[in-house]
Amino acid sequence: MRRNRRIKKHSRFATSSMGIASLIISAFMMMMIFFAMNAKCSAITRDIGLKEKKLQSLEAELTREKTHWDEMKVPERLKTALTRFGLEMDMPREDQLVRMSNAGVPVPGQLAVARLRSSVTSGTAVANSQPRRIVRVAPAASRRHKRNGVRK
């Protein structure tokens, strides 16, 4: 009988200390999880702030470029640019205009369309109607060079 009493004493002490230790360990784990999540959220907040600043700077740059482009499209600026480069531009003649319908085909009865069709049937060449010849050049990295009889 004594033996049983001794075991009970030890088991009470062991179970009470194990309960306290498990509470301490679980509290420590919860605290570590909280700190890890807090650090992750702080990093994400910092990244969002940086990206918002970059977005604002890009929007400001876009506004500046739009303003610059609008200033370049002013008729006075276009005229000065044309005279600076020695270009002369006039309105096209009536026989140079081709009006298109919503279907994407030329509207019938136009002088330019009739002139184009007559030149095609008569066999005369029309500017820009010939297909361009495409010449391809291999990039420098793929060319093989010989130096003193050794290929590289």
* Six-digit token string for 51: 């990206």
- Separation CA 47–CA 53 (nearest Å): 10
- Separation CA 142–CA 59 (nearest Å): 41
Mean pLDDT per 10-residue interval, the chain, length 152 residues = 53 70 95 98 97 97 96 90 86 77 80 72 53 49 49 50
- With a CB cutoff of 8 Å and minimum separation 6, the contacts of 94 are 111
* Six-digit token string for 127: 């500017």
User: pTM of the entire structure?
Assistant: 0.42
* Six-digit token string for 55: 């977005």
- DSSP count for the chain of H helices, then E strands: 3, 2
Residue whose token pair is 């999880």 = 33
